[in-house]
Chain A
Amino acid sequence: MTEDKIKEELVLADFHKKIKEAFEVFDHESNNTVDVREIGTIIRSLGCCPSEGEIHDLLAEVEEEEPTGYIRYEKFLPVMTKVLQERRYRPIPEDVLLGAFEVLDSAKRGFLTKEELVKYMTEEGEPFSQEEMEEMLSAAIDPGSNSVNYKEYITMMVIDEN
């Protein structure tokens, strides 16, 4: 085997181990299955940042012909490995995120009002559920001004993550 080939194999083995670990966290009965509703969380915790639509596509590939409500590891592994190998759904860099907020803030005020945020998040793109919207608001909105200073918000969330 060439050195490159060996490296490739090692990287592959690495992916497999990572995927297995993340999967097992949600495999509550140790029988190599997880509830289908946890797949999104698992994929995202492996470093990917897919949209809801992309998750649905992935689900279609890993589900059984007759959906049973749970996903088997044997089906999940190859699909997820490919995702990691192809480096799909990369996370969003801070500046890109900032740019997105700025697009929504057409007047370039540096903030979005609560109503505007709710409108964009629940009517555009892949709309939030009410629960998701409330959760986001609770962290983002400054109750005094009833608006979100998105630059500060991003910074705060990023710090929290680390």
Chain B
Amino acid sequence: FKAATLIQRWYRRYVARLEMRRQCTWSIFQSIEYAGQQDQIKVRWNESGLPLALLSSPWAAKPRCSKGDFLDRMFTEERFHQDAEMEKYSDYESIEVPDSYTGPHLSFPLLPDHATALVEAFRLKQQLHARYVLNLLHETRKHLAQLPNINRLSTCYSEEITVCGDLHGQLDDLIFIFYKTHGKKILRTLQDVFCWLPLATLVDEKVLILHGGVSNRTDLELLAKLNRHKIVSTLRYKMRKENEKQAEEKRKANQTSSAQAPTPWFLPQSRSLPSSPFHLRSDKAHKTSRSSSIPCGAPLERKESSWQVQHSVGLELERCQQQAAFPVILEKEEPLLLTSKADDVAGERPEPTREEWKQVVDILWSDPMTQEGCKANTVRGGGCYFGPDVTEQLLQKYNLQLLIRSHECKPEGYEFCHNRKVLTIFSASNYYEVGSNRGAYVKLGPSLSPHIVQYQANKATHMLTMRQRQDISMNDFRKKKLQISRVEESALRALREKLFAHSSDLLDEFKKHDADKTGLITLNDWAAAVESVLHLGLPWRMLWSQLVNTSMDNALEYRSWLEDLAKEQLSHENIQSSLLETLYRNRSNLETIFRIIDSDHSGFISLDEFRQTWKLFSSHMNIDITDDCICDLARSIDFNKDGHIDINEFLEAFRLVEQSCSEGQASDCPQSTNANDSDCNSSGAP
């Protein structure tokens, strides 16, 4: 029946285009993320004196760079003399807890009930004192240090084992909360905690759990016998050198001001993607700031891990539950951050062999692929892509039935591949953006058949749909479409930022394609130019219509396009809006900082103090804000215009934003400086 077919055809095409948009958006986020990682890798290796030629081009463009080259470089490094400071850093007993403290108190060993109570305390927005944080981490590390490289668990001891994937947390928040006194200690101890996570876990000798993947040479026996200290020392040295260097540079850059603390050596380089002001914390998973690293990162490391206390709580939970015979395994997001042990012979630094190093890198960094074989993972810069034959080989060699790993974000939170022999689990929902993906974890019972639980931290999306309930025709499909547009918009914003950041390179490239100096560039040339500068591997032709505003079909006046980009990025609204978004996201940090500055506890800080606070804050967050913007912001927050900011007023303003958003009325936000889109995710000013 022709009419019906016509409608079906049309409808299917519509759905396909939606799918294409979704996939493009995903590619944008992923490619920006991986590109950022590669920068990270480049930075770290720079430390080692790699020839500049190698560094000047991204890895993706140089497939000839084999991992072997980098292994070589690693082994010509200076050896590191042991750092015995570690013990100092877990000294939590000297930290006093004031009487006024109303948060949870912890005592060890932690019983399951206490752990549950702790999680409940977080849900009620209580705060855990630094002493307990350190204590908790210290206990966790002690426990983990006793575990073997390959941890073995059995379902005989319990009915069910839960496996989580990458969780991702807010490193910046933790640092700011504790920055003045305890941050350094906490980070060091945290580092140790992750160092001591097992390299892999075996359940019932049948299910292998690890972070990245395997290669065709993965040797579990070797990994089991590995002396982890050997790898650590080199990493620690490199890491420390780098951070010292960074701290030095920052110290030089920031002159005077006692209000400005010397840049803590452990501060990571944030490279957050733009996010919506809807970044309210859910109980389970804090929003992702793509903080690049705990500086203890291995050169090949991907830093996102839920270092935050909740993760440690989880680890403690694991321990307690193991003691109580209910094992819970937390997936290792953190590869080898190993601490040097006190009993290492001073001056005598055992080195990992090349083979050992490769084995570790492989299990931490590899990704599965559909093709057979095993080839270098050029995207990650370490590890490999492994095919179903490699999986099969490994499973047979060790008589296993399933491989569970994390390391890759999946839209549904999980994904099977290799004939259901490999399961990827990713537990950070909304990883790229609110609504971008679900999270999942997997339960294993005695039968060892995986049972998957999906979720999505949905307070924000819930708010979104509350708004739309007003619209009668709102429904699931529509929500899905809206979600796709929102996430898409966020991805495009990130992309425009990146383009802007490379404006001068882009202009040079465009000029090369414009020999006749017409000022115009064709679509094809534009796409080629952009790719040659950004190296993101994105479908530029498809994105043309969304990134470029031109009246001509196939040509663009590139100069004015670049100018428009600049205007947009530097626009008052844009800076204000990203400022406000950042403020909003970090409001509890800000509160803490305010209270630190407000030394007389008057509840007021002067505009000057605010500006200083903000400068400190923004330099740590790597945000580039002009003085004008800060002044404007300060003034707009100073409601009664008396030259002082009432902290409570300020925070109240954010509560107002939060509240009015939940009622779905963006326009009622007081003192709106921006009226972006009709959605409440415009940043209504405080």
- A-to-B contact residues, CB < 8 Å: 13-14, 17-18, 21-22, 24-26, 28-31, 33, 35, 40-42, 44-45, 48-52, 70, 91-92, 96-97, 99-101, 103-104, 120-121, 124-128, 132, 135-136, 138-139, 142-144, 156-157, 160-161
Min distance, Cβ A160 to any Cβ of chain B, angstroms: 6
Q: Which of B19-27, B135-143, B396-404, B603-611 contacts A (4 or more CB under 8 A)?
A: B19-27
- A92 near B8 with CB under 8 A, answer no
- A29 near B12 with CB under 8 A, answer no
- B9 near A92 with CB under 8 A, answer yes
User: Are A25 and B14 CB-contacts (below 8 A) given A33-B370, A41-B20, A92-B6?
Assistant: no
Closest to B473 in A: A142
Type the 1/0 row for B5-20, where 1 means its CB is closer than 8 Å to any CB of A.
1111111111111011
26 inter-chain pairs at a CB distance below 8 angstroms, sorted by A residue, are A14-B524, A17-B524, A18-B541, A21-B542, A22-B20, A25-B539, A29-B369, A41-B19, A44-B13, A44-B16, A44-B20, A45-B20, A48-B13, A50-B9, A52-B12, A92-B6, A92-B9, A104-B7, A121-B7, A121-B8, A125-B2, A125-B4, A125-B8, A132-B12, A136-B477, A143-B475
- B371 near A31 with CB under 8 A, answer yes
- Identify whether the interface residues of A are mostly helix, strand, loop, or mixed: helix
- B4 near A25 with CB under 8 A, answer no
Pick from B4, B10, B27, B475: contact of A49, CB below 8 A: B10
Pick from B8, B27, B477, B537: contact of A128, CB below 8 A: B8
Chain A residues with Cβ under 8 A from B379's Cβ? Answer: 30
Pick from A40, A49, A51, A143: contact of B472, CB below 8 A: A143
B481 at the binding interface (Cβ < 8 Å): yes
User: Are A138 and B478 CB-contacts (below 8 A) given A41-B19, A104-B4?
Assistant: yes
The size of the chain B interface, using a CB distance under 8 A, is 41
- A138 near B476 with CB under 8 A, answer yes
Closest to A153 in B: B473
Pick from B11, B23, B524: contact of A26, CB below 8 A: B23
- A136 near B11 with CB under 8 A, answer yes
- B-to-A contact residues, CB < 8 Å: 1-17, 19-20, 23-24, 27, 369-371, 379, 385, 472-473, 475-478, 481, 524, 527, 537, 539-542
Chain A residues with Cβ under 8 A from B537's Cβ? Answer: 24, 30
A52 to B370, CA, bound (A): 26
Pick from B7, B20, B385: contact of A25, CB below 8 A: B20
Chain B residues with Cβ under 8 A from A18's Cβ? Answer: 541
Closest to A68 in B: B370
Chain A residues with Cβ under 8 A from B539's Cβ? Answer: 21-22, 24-25
Chain B residues with Cβ under 8 A from A101's Cβ? Answer: 3, 7
Closest to B26 in A: A25
User: Are A17 and B541 CB-contacts (below 8 A) given A25-B24, A45-B20?
Assistant: yes
A50 to B9, CA, bound (A): 6
Min distance, Cβ A7 to any Cβ of chain B, angstroms: 13
Closest to A157 in B: B14
Pick from B7, B20, B370: contact of A70, CB below 8 A: B370
Closest to B476 in A: A138
Min distance, Cβ A65 to any Cβ of chain B, angstroms: 18
Residue in B4, B15, B23 with the greatest tally of chain A CB atoms within 10 Å: B4
User: Are A21 and B541 CB-contacts (below 8 A) given A31-B371, A45-B16, A139-B475?
Assistant: yes
- A135 near B15 with CB under 8 A, answer yes
Closest to A158 in B: B14
Chain A residues with Cβ under 8 A from B20's Cβ? Answer: 22, 25, 41-42, 44-45
A41 to B8, CA, bound (A): 14
Min distance, Cβ A85 to any Cβ of chain B, angstroms: 18
Chain B residues with Cβ under 8 A from A135's Cβ? Answer: 15, 476-477
- B6 near A41 with CB under 8 A, answer no
Chain B residues with Cβ under 8 A from A139's Cβ? Answer: 475, 477-478, 481
A124 to B455, CA, bound (A): 37
Chain A residues with Cβ under 8 A from B9's Cβ? Answer: 49-51, 92, 126
A101 to B284, CA, bound (A): 48
- B14 near A97 with CB under 8 A, answer no
Chain B residues with Cβ under 8 A from A45's Cβ? Answer: 16-17, 20, 542
Closest to A123 in B: B4
Min distance, Cβ A156 to any Cβ of chain B, angstroms: 8
A18 to B20, CA, bound (A): 14
Min distance, Cβ B383 to any Cβ of chain A, angstroms: 14
Closest to B11 in A: A136
- A29 near B385 with CB under 8 A, answer yes
Closest to B528 in A: A17
Min distance, Cβ B524 to any Cβ of chain A, angstroms: 6
Pick from B1, B4, B371, B475: contact of A138, CB below 8 A: B475
Chain A residues with Cβ under 8 A from B541's Cβ? Answer: 17-18, 21
Closest to B385 in A: A29
The 7 lowest CB-CB distance pairs between A and B, nearest first, are: A125-B4, A44-B16, A125-B5, A124-B4, A45-B20, A103-B3, A139-B477
Chain A residues with Cβ under 8 A from B371's Cβ? Answer: 29, 31, 33
Chain A residues with Cβ under 8 A from B527's Cβ? Answer: 17
- A138 near B5 with CB under 8 A, answer no
- B385 near A44 with CB under 8 A, answer no
Pick from A42, A52, A100, A161: contact of B14, CB below 8 A: A161
Min distance, Cβ A90 to any Cβ of chain B, angstroms: 11
Pick from A26, A42, A51: contact of B8, CB below 8 A: A51
